[in-house]
Amino acid sequence: MDEILKHGVFWINGNLTAINSTLLILLLAVGTILSLLIFYLAWHNLATRTWTPILCLTGFLIPLIVHGDGNILKSLIIGYIFIIAGASFSVQALRFS
């Protein structure tokens, strides 16, 4: 309990090469599943057919899969940029369809 209070639940050292937080892994996995579900539901309807939820899916998968230079913090930041861009474009695409 002291470790959680000291560093927080999502405390990540910038030099790590893998994600050690179980909660963060679960959140990324749930986000991946929800993005895939949103893509399926949007693609199933001809009026709202869009590829933009794939950006969110990619953003959730980047921290789980890609470890290019070994810095997990950089891959999390890039993943979150993809998630924010994909979510905002998805909302606009589904809203104006």
Identify the pLDDT of residue 30. Answer: 94
In a domain, 63, yes or no: yes
In a domain, 46, yes or no: yes
Q: How many structural domains comprise the chain?
A: 1
Residue range of the domain that includes 38: 32-97
**pLDDT tens digits for the chain (97 residues)?**
455 555 555 556 655 656 777 888 898 999 999 999 888 888 877 766 778 888 889 999 988 887 666 677 788 888 999 999 988 888 776 666 5
Identify the pLDDT of residue 1. Answer: 47
Identify the pLDDT of residue 31. Answer: 92
Identify the pLDDT of residue 82. Answer: 92
In a domain, 7, yes or no: no
Q: How far is CA 29 from CA 3, 24, 49, 70, 85, in A?
A: 24, 9, 24, 20, 18
> Cα–Cα distance between 86 and 53 in angstroms, integer?
6
- Give the chain's radius of gyration (CA, Å): 16
In a domain, 1, yes or no: no
In a domain, 13, yes or no: no
In a domain, 67, yes or no: yes
In a domain, 39, yes or no: yes
